[in-house]
Amino acid sequence: MTVDSSSTRQLTLPITGMTCVNCAATVERALCRTEGVAGASVNYATERAIVELSEEGATFEDLSVAVERVGYGVLQADPDELDDVEAAARRRELEDQTRKFWIGVGFAGPLFILSMARDFGFLGSWAYAHWVNWLMFVLASPVQVYVGWDYYVGGWKALRSGSANMDVLVALGSTVAFVYSVVVVVMLSVGSTLAGEHVYFETAALIITLIKLGKLLEVRAKGDTSEAIRELIGLQPDTARVVRQGVDYDIPISDVVVGDLLLVRPGERIPVDGEVVDGLSSIDESMLTGESMPVEKAPGDVVVGATMNKSGAFHFRATRVGADTALAQVIRLVQEVQGSKAPIQRLADQVAGIFVPIVIIVAVLTFFVWWVVVGADFSVALVRLVAVLVIACPCALGLATPTAVMVGTGRGARQGILFRSSEALQRVRRLGTVVFDKTGTLTRGEPEIRTVITLDSDEAELLRLAGSAELMSEHPLGEAVLREAQSRSLNLTKPSSFRAIPGRGVEAIIGGAEVLVGNQVLMSERDIDLTEFELAKESIVAGGATPLWVAIDGKADGVLGAADTLKEGSADAVQELKLEGLAVIMLTGDQNATAEAIASSIGIHEVRAEVLPHQKCDVIRELQADHVVAMVGDGINDAPALAQADVGIAIGTGTDVAIEAADVTLMGGDPRSVATALALSRATMRTIEQNLFWAFFYNVVLIPVAAGAFYSVTFLPMILRSLHPILAALAMALSSVTVVGNSLRLRRTDLR
């Protein structure tokens, strides 16, 4: 059991015993009926249930009882050990399925050979000797009882809970063939041919064995779809080298606490998140960001757990450990999105819910038509019934969506693209407009003061006052002013009063003087005359910089030119999105002339400038009238717009507030990842549609074939006129594998 750290009202339960999507639906209904549960979603592919609890809240024990009451189980383990427990459970299931499959082969193989030899006359005069029938019964019984036991148990669970699943179809189909054959053998033993002379022991045994093969391949393939999670978990080192009282100790990573001083040598993975204390190195952060170039680290820089130290040794102070590390949060987010249901899956769930009962009715009608209406032999009608039951198992339908989501989101995680939900993954594909914030998104977010123009004061005094006013500011432009003042070793004074004015600037009292630092809007609101700086402003804007005005005691005293550097991939990102047919817009609080100059340099022709933070939502809302809109941003002031947009995309290097408000997080901060996220969404949804088409097509086409609807169409090959139950079982087994295999292709799909 795991608990979502972002909300204590959500539980994740690992479910055991599910064999198809109808099982998942049964568990989901049982959980939703439990008192204290606000909602539940059960994913067959991940074998997990995500349960939303109401204020009263059901306990873990209550939920376990509800699941067990309908015939399934819940793995119990400490949150830290859950992944290991689930992995062990999957290994046991794989071993069990493998053992039963080979036992099935060991008995069904000779049985099939014996049956074929009889049918083709290879057994001579004793082909229909009574003891041959009893030998076939002996060979078929272990397969029917031992190998097929899972289907009887699963079918009984489903029927007991008032539903029907794949196990019901398999159990019915194989049992009908087996029991009929037993009746024939018994009747022949007493000298009666009333029930016929042909037995179908090989059919019953091979149905179970082939479907067991499909289940075995499905279990293996499902394991491959969760490879991304295993890779991420495997990145975390088992031990950390802690420095205590000047001595290095290797301790389990679980024993590291916040504040510990840790040593990392070249070639080692960083155990937890922290801040460099001393030493220089370059860090490979590709596991987190998807970017291959190492990042230089110096004292004061942040390092992330599980990233690789490439060169020098360094000491760092642990700041986040255990479930709070960036890696743990990434793993948790990927697990949550893989456990969620995409809207497109609802159709498959609705179809699967009524599919099995309809198939049973169709199978009975098929038997009736062939035996009563057509007048075929009882055994012929029976074979048709069994073929319909076996061919219609809805396994592929249940795997079509979740396997593609698992592989797609796992692929994204390896490239530093995190989707918050499968719904977001689906929605990205429909984007028509992408709106970019400027600072920190298209630019590096590290502006520099390149121009200082004064009126009455000298440059140093102007910068001293401006830098002092920005001492408590967190705005990138304010930090640029502060860095420039500090670089000149100016004696800064802590403000006796300070106020940040969102979207405008700051005001502060420095040594009794009122200092304003901000944009033209702030100056206009305070009735400060900027006429004398008009030429200076035009010069700054022409250079693609942002004018930052400084006023002292109500009078303009100077203007600073702050320029940010464009990110390397900004122009490429805009070009890629345009090639995909999307409209690209820049949305910024910067003044219009500066924004236009920057936008033009990277190919953006529509700019919304001088927009205050609260106005960004209005712009997004306006654009949503015509298109599905994505907002890409990184700052606190972008959070409302990210939440308003159809798809909020946060630059991972930005603030936690922005990331929390977003549907997609780009861990590396490269704007080109927006196009990659779009390509991944489209590839994943295309794969889901292919899977669903195959699953529906398979059942729509082959059920009539199995029922013998095309028997009189003589120009068709016999396999399409009369589908034998053995071939039906093989087709059913391969359908699930085909769907999962198609999903796995996403790991190699070109996203550029």
Nearest to 739 by CA among 679, 682, 698, 678: 698
Residues in Cβ contact with 702 at an 8 Å cutoff, skipping those fewer than 6 apart:
391, 723, 728, 731
Nearest to 256 by CA among 237, 269, 242, 270: 242
Distance from first CA to last CA of the chain, Å, rounded? 38
Nearest to 621 by CA among 640, 595, 599, 649: 640
| CB atoms near residue 372 (< 10 Å) | 10
Q: How far is CA 601 from CA 45, 435, 570, 586, in A?
A: 47, 17, 10, 12
How, if at all, do strands 314-320 and 273-278 pair? Answer: antiparallel
Please answer whether residues 317 and 240 qualify as being in contact, where contact means their C-beta atoms are separated by less than 8 angstroms. Answer: no
Distance of alpha carbon 4 from alpha carbon 52, whole angstroms: 10
Residues in Cβ contact with 736 at an 8 Å cutoff, skipping those fewer than 6 apart:
214, 217, 218, 395, 396, 399
Q: Which residues are catalytic?
A: 437
Q: What is the DSSP string of 371-436?
A: IIIS---HHHHHHHHHHHHHHT-THHHHHHHHHHHHHHHHHHHHTTEEES-HHHHHHHTT--EEEE
3-state secondary structure of 663: coil
Beta strand segments in 69-137, E: 73-74
Which tokens is 718 given?
Answer: 């016999």
Phi, psi (degrees; rounded to nearest 5) at 663? -90, -25
